[in-house]
Amino acid sequence: MVTDGDSAYVSNSKYLDRKMGGQVKLTEHRAVRHDRNTRVGLQESETTMLGWIRKLIGAPASRPPAAAVGDAARSVSFTGDEFYGANSDILDGVQFSATLQARTPLRILEHHGEVFRGPPSQAPDYGGQEHGIWLPKTKGELGDFLQQGAKHASDAGPVAPADYLPFLKAFRAIVEGPGDVMEKIRLLRLLPKESPVFKRFWSKLTSYYPDFPESFFYRRLTELEGVGPTTAKRLFESGIRSIEDVHAATDADLLAVQGVGKALVAKIRSADQSGSARERQEGAPP
């Protein structure tokens, strides 16, 4: 599996903003990092969302959380079982929202939109929040209304999942398919010719990420100790295009690359040996 090493982001949630005069409109909750402060903010947003929904459909208010707002992160999570149970009268389960980025594996993208009807703690684990999260799904027509025209955060900007998912799946099918890196890059460059929609997303990705799609592959080399984006690109251009290639290369091969010195080679070799020892230890029988 190839990853570009980008930071993981929590997918968007949508909420209703009830304005004066009774107008209701969909607004977008932008992608946020999943630290303690944002967990509190997201919980408050979801609690407020459900309050507005209850007003709209005339449902009774749910019981308030036992802890104060300052303790929200360690009391009731908006994706937790207690929150789900307290609002089960208007919730139809939880729905999986995959991280809509080129780094997300195809097997994860296939689960986007999947609904689990039961306690969130029992929902399938699809690789943790790096790859996606489970969000509350409301019942019946209201749930459908909330999804209409909804935009999700992605590496191509705000997108409608129905538009971007086919592109991402086609992208990942090539990345995870057979062939060497250069053959995959050749096939990826044909994607914009598939449809105007694919061309639009390709244009966005190439404008956001320098050297795309080559950078998608060579940025993985930055996982190596001491290797930054510039060195990674030079390694890639010299024909050393994967971590496996680095490990298979001789010291002379690596030293021939501009910017690679003996100290960096030593770091790479040391990390390689530590990783191999760790793998042997983890793979040892109990």
Residue type, 27: T
Q: Which pLDDT does position 26 carry in this prediction?
A: 31
Q: Which pLDDT does position 274 carry in this prediction?
A: 57
**Triad 201, 209, 199: Cα angle to 5°:** 20
CA distances (Å), origin 154, targets 10, 151, 161: 10, 9, 9
Q: Where does the pLDDT of residue 188 fall: very low under 50, low under 70, confident under 90, or very high at 90 and above?
A: very high
Residue 100 or residue 68, greater confidence: 100
The arithmetic mean of pLDDT across residues 208-217, rounded, is 93
Q: Which pLDDT does position 129 carry in this prediction?
A: 87
Residue 115 or residue 22, greater confidence: 115
| 98 pLDDT more than 50 | yes
What would the pLDDT profile of 268-278 be if each residue is shown by its tens digit? 888 766 544 33
3-state SS string for the chain: CCCCCCCCCECCEEEEEECCCCCEEEEEECCECCCHHHHHHHHHHHHHHHHHHHHHHCCCCCCCCCCCHHHHHHHCCCCCHHHHHHCCCCEEEEEEEECECCCCCHHHHCCCCCEECCCHHHCCCCCCCCCEEEEEEECHHHHHHHHCCCCECEECECECHHHHHHHHHHHHHHHCCCCCHHHHHHHHCCHHHCCHHHHHHHHHHHHHCCCCCHHHHHHHHHHCCCCCHHHHHHHHHCCCCCHHHHHHCCHHHHHCCCCCCHHHHHHHHHHHHHHHHHHHHHHCCC
Q: Which pLDDT does position 140 carry in this prediction?
A: 72
Residue 83 or residue 240, greater confidence: 240
- Name the burial class of residue 63, with classes exposed (0-12), middle (13-18) and buried (19+) by CB atoms within 10 angstroms of its CB: exposed
Q: Which pLDDT does position 82 carry in this prediction?
A: 83
What would the pLDDT profile of 2-22 be if each residue is shown by its tens digit? 433 333 333 333 332 333 233
Is pTM beyond 0.85 here? no
Residue 58 or residue 189, greater confidence: 189
Beta bridge partners of 100: 154
Phi, psi of 7 (to 5 degrees): -65, 150
What percent of the chain is modeled with pLDDT above 90? 47
Q: Which pLDDT does position 90 carry in this prediction?
A: 83
Least confident of 17-21, 173-177, 193-197: 17-21
C-beta atoms surrounding 266 within 10 Å: 13
Q: Which pLDDT does position 273 carry in this prediction?
A: 64
What percent of the chain is modeled with pLDDT above 70? 64
Q: Where does the pLDDT of residue 232 fall: very low under 50, low under 70, confident under 90, or very high at 90 and above?
A: very high
